[in-house]
Amino acid sequence: MDTKVLFQDASALATPMLAVFAVDIATGKDADPIPVLLNTSDAVTNAAEKFIRSGEFKAGLCETLLLHAPSGLKAERLLIVGLGKAKTLSVDEVRKGAGAAVRAAKPRAIRDIAIAFPEDHALSDEHLENLPCVMTSRALIEGAELAEPEWDTYRSDRKDLSVRSLTVVAKDGEALTNAEVLQGFHEGLILAAAQNFARTLVNEPGNILTPTEMGKRAKAMCDAAGLTCEVFSTAKLTELKMGAFAAVAQGSAEPPALIVMTYIPEGGVAPDAPVMGLVGKGITFDTGGISIKPADNMEKMKYDMAGSAAMIGAMQAIAALKPKVKVIGVVCSAENMPDGKAFKPGDVVTAMSGKTIEIINTDAEGRLVLADGLHYAKTLGCTHLVDAATLTGACVVALGYNNVGLFSNDEETWEKFMSGIPKSGESFWRLPCTDDYRDQIKSQIGDIMNTGGRAAGAVTAAMFLKEFAGDTPWIHLDIAGCAWNEEVKPWLPKGPTGIAVRSIVEWVRSYGA
């Protein structure tokens, strides 16, 4: 999408479609909705007034109303997009509302659109209390960009319904406010592009996006973004004694890829400065291996590399946003296959850390590749770790599709991560990983087992990883329920979500502001 910001009265903008937000300012539980436009232009208000007052439009979140030939406006159409109650308004509603505007344009083949930056018509900004300018601008452009892709690349009958251009039109305010709108716009474009890149990777089928191909795409991104990138395979896993990662990879005809992406801020960093380690699970297809999965829904397991995609996307955004902190991205990519050479239940493998792992179930492969990835990141000097993985079905059972399961071994690190959430707008729910769960993965045969039984499956998976994070402050994100959107939403198509990219970037930035 071609995007720009114009500072002018929205009514004077010639565009096929102008979208304007509205909120419901009615208070009290059973009160009739009172929709109010979030725009300061009298002409826009007049054009919408009759419909706003009709009672047909309630300004519910992502509720839309399309008017043709609105009187007094240069726009051919006026789209009113509800953001819900004024009282509960936040930048998250703006993100969704902007997405809904783009998704309203697409089926109508409207190729060029404008969205009015939310402004309060009242003299005070009482309805916009929770919309700081930078964040609002950022969320608006994020929502619009994320709503655009269709994920129908492989359909011969695909129709090009893309929105080609988006103009954000904001009133010409004080220089400072205008600068804030532009800053948010700039950041939002970077974050959305990174997230869309991650989604593109997640959308690819397993036969196209092999570990080798993921290495190539990461390398191409790094070359373009100015990051260093090394892509290793089997020989390096052997050299580093990554016995857990190698065990998962050994049953596949596709060689594994260990991808290391490095960002160093301009001017370097102090020797005692934090180094952020971003570790991703990159199983390009998870059959379960010898502990093979049922056929039903197995095709979904192409997205078992969404954690890696999030890290690759995050590195792209970090390269552009340039925080003053060193960041190393480590991607552990392999295909989990049943084969004559595959690893088996009962096998004992030695991880890079030296710990021996008794394999109980070859379908618990994610934690194996991450065990070596986390340990390796520490040997590269990482002082803070985050991993993202579509790790357990148990996390989907526990939290469903609305919250990422979050685990941490360090309160301060968890608090820092959570402080970025109002900006990213992504949802996380913390689950425990206290040592009283450790017994469930105790092994008779080796140091640790790779599964811990039916109870608390997401927790025991986290407990396994915690063993390899050791004393290093660490966050684990189980994104199994949030990496793929199964139901179309007014602001988002079905398909890959690119979850966690924005929050991980925000967390990294909080160490290098």
Residues 445-474 that bind ligand BES (CB under 6 A): 451, 457
Per the structure block, which two tokens stand in for 31? 């009160």
Closest contact distance (angstroms) between CB of 167 and Zn ion is 43
Site for Zn ion in 65-124 (CB under 5 A): none
Contact 327, 250 (CB under 8 A): no
Q: Which of residues 305-324 bind ligand BES (CB under 6 A)?
A: none
Closest CB to ligand BES among residues 17, 360: 360
Q: Does residue number 335 form part of the binding site for Zn ion (CB under 5 A)? A: no
Number of residues that bind ligand BES (CB under 6 A): 16
User: Is 361 one of the binding residues for ligand BES (CB under 6 A)?
Assistant: yes
Three-state SS sequence of 44-102: HHHHHHHHHHCCCCCCCCCCEEEEECCCCCCCCEEEEEEEEEHHHCCHHHHHHHHHHHH
Q: Which amino acid is at 282?
A: G
d(CA 234, CA 249) in angstroms, rounded, equals 9
Our finding on whether 363 is near ligand BES (CB under 6 A) is yes
Alpha-carbon gap, residue 314 to 424, rounded angstroms = 12
Tokens of 17: 């479609």
Q: Alpha-carbon distance 234 to 479, whole Å?
A: 27
Q: How far apart are CA 354 and CA 360, in angstroms?
A: 19
Residue from 24, 92, 187, 286 binding ligand BES (CB under 6 A)? 286
Give the chain's count of helices (H) and strands (E).
14, 20
Surface-to-core class of residue 156, CB atoms within 10 Å of its CB (0-12 exposed, 13-18 middle, 19+ buried): exposed
Look up residue 496 and give its amino acid: P
The residue among 178 and 361 lying less far from ligand BES, judged by its C-beta, is 361
Q: Whose CA is closest to 284, among 185, 197, 368, 212?
A: 212
Say how far apart CA 424 and CA 422 lie, in whole Å. 6
Among 366, 452, 457, 473, binds Zn ion (CB under 5 A): 366
Nearer to ligand BES by Cβ, of 78 and 359: the residue is: 359
CA distance 59 to 39: 14
Tell me which stretch binds Zn ion (CB under 5 A): 50-58, 103-111, 301-309, 491-499: 301-309
286 is an interface residue for Zn ion by CB under 5 A? yes
Rounded Cα distance between 500 and 152, Å, is 23
When the beta carbons of 103 and 281 are compared against Zn ion, the nearer one is 281
Q: Does 286 bind Mn ion (CB under 5 A)?
A: yes
Quick one: tokens of 263? 């960002």
> Which one is catalytic: 367, 378, 416, 502?
367
Q: What amino acid occupies position 484?
A: W
Task: Report which of 400, 383, 373 is spatially closest to residue 257, judged by C-alpha positions.
Answer: 373
Q: Which of residues 352-381 bind Mn ion (CB under 5 A)?
A: 363, 365
Least separation in angstroms between CB 436 and ligand BES:
19
Q: Pick from 113, 144, 480, 505 the residue near ligand BES by CB under 6 A.
A: 480
CA distances from 231 to 104, 234, 236, 367, 430 (A): 42, 11, 10, 21, 33
Binding marks (x or -) toward Zn ion, 232..271, rule CB under 5 A? Answer: ----------------------------------------
* End-to-end Cα, the chain, rounded Å: 29
The size of the interface with Mn ion (CB under 5 A), counted in residues, is: 3
Q: Which stretch binds ligand BES (CB under 6 A): 23-31, 115-123, 162-170, 360-368?
A: 360-368
| CB-closest chain residue to ligand BES | 393
Query: Is 392 among the residues that bind ligand BES (CB under 6 A)?
Result: yes
Q: Of the two residues 366 and 425, which places its CB atom closer to Zn ion in the complex?
A: 366
Please state the closest distance from residue 289 (CB atom) to ligand BES, in A: 9
Q: What residues from 304 to 323 belong to the interface with Zn ion (CB under 5 A)?
A: 304
423 noted as active-site residue: no
Q: How many residues bind Zn ion (CB under 5 A)?
A: 4
Q: How far apart are CA 25 and CA 32, in angstroms?
A: 10
Task: Indicate the residue among 191 and 248 with the shorter CB distance to ligand BES.
Answer: 248
The partner in contact with residue 98, picked from Zn ion, ligand BES, Mn ion, none with C-beta cut-offs of 5 to 8 angstroms by kind, is none
**9-42 burial, b if ≥16 CB within 10 A, otherwise e?**
bbbebebbbbbbbbbbbbeeeeeebebbbbbbbe
Active-site residue flag, 367: yes
Q: Is 195 in the site for ligand BES (CB under 6 A)?
A: no
Q: Which partner in ligand BES, Mn ion, Zn ion, none is near 60 (CB below 5 to 8 A by kind)?
A: none
Q: Annotated catalytic residue: which of 58, 111, 216, 293?
A: 293
User: Which residues of this protein are in contact with Mn ion, per CB under 5 A?
Assistant: 286, 363, 365
Chain residues binding ligand BES by CB under 6 A are 286, 304, 361, 363-366, 390-394, 396, 451, 457, 480
Catalytic residue numbers, as ranges? 293, 367
